[in-house]
Structure 1
Amino acid sequence: MTVQLWSSIGAIGAPTAVLDLDAADHNVAEMRRRASGTPIRVASKSIRVRGLIDRMLREPGYAGVLAYSAAEALWLARSGVDDVLIAYPTVDVETVKQVAADSELAARITFMADLPEHVRLLDSAGSAHPLRVCLDVDASLPVGKALIGAHRSSVHGPGQAAEFARATARLNGVRLVGLMFYDAQVAGVQDTNAAVRLLKRRSVAELAERREQLWRAVASYASIEVVNAGGTGSLHLVGGSPVTEFAAGSGLFAPTLFDRYDGADLRPAAYFASPVVRKPRSDVAVTFSGGYAASGASGASRAPRPVHPEGLRYFAQEGAGEVQTPLRGAAARELAVGDAVWFRHAKAGEMCERFDEILLVRGGSVVDRLPTYRGEGHNFG
């Protein structure tokens, strides 16, 4: 990163979110390159800035939004996004009813399901136009009696998928239009050693075969328009029939958990800067706030990483704190009260839950300020 970025925002009094547009533009192009012509649906969970989502949707190769909340999907559809797939099932009855009552919204929004309870809830909305449904398929890798991957869907094999499709076809208020396969054990795991790489290769091969079988099993009962697969870390690995689209978003920001992926040329783009407010010792600098730990299994990898000035590190007994973050190291000697320390978050969109706006920087200058979801007054969970 150039010196220009570190000097781009001047004096600050509180933590400030920053996006390096040059790096972000590179990442948008890099994800498109690895997708090899398959459209990428923008994963809003990994961005949470409506202006940046709109910006990506204007780019070639990007189409539609993968939302993480039904209420969020409704808001985005009302804001002009014409194709929103909700990545997770919902029990938000009020939002479902609002979508069901509006034919335009019902055409723009697709709900996720993998249990009979999910489709019964959607069906009970009593829509005059069937609500669109996508079946979330468990994409984890079977290894013996275990499954390696995220605990998501109850549907794993073609028989289960066919039964789901058959039961859904009997209902008048819903219409099965899609299949989703999120390979967390591939897209969400860094390439840290040979064992991980082997597991990924096995998973990609197994899932490619099973995806085809599931698609054929479901096609007997439904007209499938969407087959969604992959994530930022697996765009170049999981394409081919019957996949119609990928989903990705974290690659825009390239947080620290995406630093070690084979075949992906992503550049760190999102940061937050926090001012030094204390110097209890010459080799210790304390910044205001900064304890923005990422979700997932707790550990050092989930903490923000101080990146400028180089060489700063946490105290083991304190770490990144709720209202102050002590940092030590030789670089702390050069910091004065009021100087900024720059951090990278471990995840992408989660950072934006902490800020009302994000500054867009190009060539060392702030060129725009965009409100986050929080800055627009929304908290979707």
Structure 2
Amino acid sequence: MKRRNLLLGGLGLGIGGTWLARPSIEGDGKHSAYFQQLNSLLHRENLARPTMIVDLDRLDHNIAEVRRHIPNDKTYRVVAKSLPAQGLIDYAMAKADTSRLMVFHQPFLNHFVESKPDSDLLVGKPMPIGAAARFYQHYQANAFDVGQQLQWLIDTPQRLKQYAQLAEAQQLPMRINIEVDIGLHRGGVKDPAVLAGMLKQIDAHPYLTFSGLMGYDPHVSKAPAILGMQEREGAMAQHRYHEFMEVWRRHNGGDGRSNALTLNAAGSPTFHRWYDNDTANDLSAGSALLKPLDFDIPTLANHQPALFIGTPILKVSDGIEMPIAPLIGQAQTGWNPNRRKTLFVYGGYWKAEPVSPPGLLTNPTYGRSTNQEMLNSNAQLQLGVDDYVFYRPTQSEFVMLQFGDIIAVRGGQIEAVWPVLPQGA
């Protein structure tokens, strides 16, 4: 064979191989029955703006799944940052039959002291001393007993000293929960000897009381499942927690009773791993109740996505008209059958991915926009201007705070409208 023919044949094989790797058409250009019901609901209510939606039936299912994995000898603590609306938190706490909240933001802390005076609040991260001082500046005495129902999280002897000085200045008792590092290495006490010294500091102070430990282990779910690595990481995290508990028992004169302590552990990816553990007695989960996209993980396989963004379509056109370099848009349209149409939607660039109709794509060349985001679809698109497309948030947390009131839906009807938590104070 001539060298020229060999080269042409190789080129042909290369082009053919590349052509075979082209994307295939995803979806039929229309909503499933589930999303069509949501589309009809938003049309009927004429919301006509980006809207955060919580599916109550799916939320109920997820709450039941969490409760199923928390035994009767352990308590369940709702993570407020993952459900940042008072109505949503009230609903979840009532369904889960718990009065315990984990709070990560000082304005939220002040809010819950007023709105949920019967709750048990654990701060979920070590707050700057300025944030703690600000909490007390805005705190107004009510039925909530700030000295008994609130636990501050402390991670170092230095921060403990700051809080001790604040307690003296306020002349108010403080319950101190100590963060311990059980493998995440994001912070917290690493050395059991340091914990022993902190326990002595607390005992020596007239306004401080030791209330328990907090160990967080989301890294366990990130470990590869092969060769038992995930199981080993989980066992190591629980062993580390047990080591810190032994420090407290020795400090307490060998008394192993811990029912008066809050021994908090876990999170949405790992709460089920602490079911049979005899150390932690207080398990936290928040995102597991809504299952945003980042929580599509094996440990939450039985949970259902319950959180969506619906936003109106503003414009629809054929192909992709790319400014400055129109050939790039033409090439994208020719190569990928899921880029045969262009949509611009109301808002965008959220921590979220489009999910309905299937096959919607953002355009990395055109760029993202928080005002009018470009999406591309296949030629079978059966939606038009003023119809809604749906995104699935990758997280709940801050994303849920960007849309104003959240609508809670059941069976194609709005059952409740929940304002999000205030950011000030």
Q: TM-score, normalised by structure 1?
A: 0.86
Aligned mates of 1:331, 1:139 — CA distance in 2: 52
More displaced stretch, 330-339 vs 353-362? 330-339
What is the CA distance between 1:129 and its match in structure 2? 4.2
- 1:9 counterpart SS class: helix
8 Å contact from structure 2 (residues 288, 300) kept in 1: no
Report what 1:262 is aligned to: 299
- Give the aligned partner of residue 94 of structure 1: 134
Which of 108, 114, 117 does residue 158 from structure 2 map onto?
A: 117
Residues of 2 paired with 1:355 and 1:309: CA distance? 21
Code of the residue aligned with 1:208 in structure 2: it is: Q
Following TM superposition, by how much is the alpha carbon of 1:35 offset from its aligned partner in structure 2, in angstroms?
1.9
Aligned letter for 2:37?
Q
Query: 2:300, 2:370 → 1: CA distance?
Result: 36
1:216 aligned onto 2:246: yes
- The one-character-per-residue Cα deviations of 1:276-321 (angstroms, maximum 9, x if unpaired) are 112243511111112113xxxxxxxxxx111111111111224542
Q: Which residue of 1 aligns with 2:103?
A: 67
Which residue pairs with 1:152 in the alignment? 187
Shift of 1:221: 4.0
Larger radius of gyration: 2
2:346 match? 288
Q: Cα gap change, 1:98/1:132 in structure 2, threshold over 3 Å: closer, same or farther?
A: farther
Are 2:266 and 1:206 equivalent residues in the alignment? no
Cα distance in 1 for residues equivalent to 2:366 and 2:202: 52
Cα distance, 1:250 vs structure 2? 0.3
Moved more, 240-249 or 34-43: 34-43
For 1:221 and 1:128, the matched residues in 2 are separated by: 26
Aligned pair in 2 of structure 1 residues 264, 250: CA closer, same or farther (>3 Å)? same
Aligned pairs, how many? 354
> Structure 2: which amino acid aligns with 1:353?
L
Q: What residue in structure 2 maps to residue 301 of structure 1?
A: none
The equivalent of 2:86 in structure 1 is 50
Which amino acid in structure 2 is aligned with residue 228 of structure 1?
A: N
CA contact (8 A) 1:291 1:320 kept: yes
**Which residue, 210, 219, 223 being the options, matches 1:176?**
210
Task: Return the alpha-carbon distance in structure 1 between the equivalents of residues 232 and 198 of structure 2.
Answer: 27
Residue type of the alignment partner of 1:287: V
Q: Which runs of 5+ in 1 are unaligned?
A: 141-148, 294-303
State the identity %: 24
Q: Which residue of 2 aligns with 1:296?
A: none
**Deviation (angstroms), 1:165:** 1.5
Q: Out of 269, 281, 289, which is 1:244 matched to?
A: 281
Partner of 2:419: 371
Q: Equivalent residue for 2:146? A: 105
- Residue equivalent to 1:85: 122
**Offset of 1:212 from its aligned partner?**
1.5
SS in 2 for 1:335: coil
**1:19: which partner in 2?**
54
Distance 1:291 1:327, change over 3 A: same
Deviation, structure 1 residue 100: 10
Deviations 1:209-237 (A, max 9, x none): 22122112023446761000101111111
Gaps of 5+ in 2: 1-32, 253-257, 320-340
Instruction: Measure the CA separation in 2 of the matches of 1:34 and 1:84.
Output: 22
Distance 1:169 1:278 in 2: 66
Q: Distance in 1 between matches of 2:267 and 2:420?
A: 22
Check conservation: 2:181, 2:215, Cα contact below 8 A: yes
Report deviation, 1:257.
0.5
Change (3 A) 1:216 1:137: same
Task: Name the CA distance, whole Å, in 1 between partners of 2:423 and 2:161.
Answer: 28
The residue that corresponds to 2:225 in the other structure is 194
* Change beyond 3 A, Cα 1:333–1:137: same
CA distance in 2, matches of 1:104, 1:344: 39
- Contact in 2 for aligned 1:100/1:106 (Cα 8 Å): no
Aligned to 1:234: 270
Instruction: Answer yes or no: is the 8 Å Cα contact 1:150–1:185 preserved in 2.
Output: no
Contact 2:59 2:290 in 1 (8 A): yes
Contact 2:225–2:231 at 8 Å: present in 1 too?
no
2:351 is the alignment partner of 1:316: no
Q: Does the alignment pair 1:139 with 2:182?
A: yes
Q: C-alpha distance in 1, partners of 2:408/2:360? A: 25
The 3 A distance-change label for structure 1 pair 219 and 99 is: farther
C-alpha contact 2:85 2:420 (8 A) present in aligned 1: yes
Q: Structure 1 residue 198: deviation in Å?
A: 3.5
Paired residue for 2:38?
Answer: 5
Q: Structure 1's 332 and 358: CA in aligned 2 closer, same or farther, altered over 3 A?
A: farther
CA distance in 2, matches of 1:354, 1:151: 27
- Report the Cα offset of residue 177 of structure 1: 0.7
C-alpha contact 1:287 1:325 (8 A) present in aligned 2: yes
Matched, 1:335 2:372: no
The CA deviation at 1:119 is 1.7
State the alpha-carbon separation in 2 of the partners of residues 331 and 21 from structure 1. Answer: 34
Residue from 66, 69, 74 that aligns with 1:34: 69
Please state whether the residue corresponding to 2:369 is helix, strand or coil: coil
Distance 2:402 2:342 in 1: 25
Q: TM-score under structure 2 normalisation?
A: 0.77
Q: 1:319 to 1:238 in 2, by over 3 A?
A: farther
**1:106 positional shift:** 2.4
Q: CA RMSD in A?
A: 2.4
Partner of 2:322: none
* Cα distance in structure 2, aligned partners of 1:80 and 1:333: 47
Q: Distance in 1 between matches of 2:386 and 2:343?
A: 10
Question: How far apart, in 1, do the equivalents of 2:207 and 2:282 lie?
Answer: 26
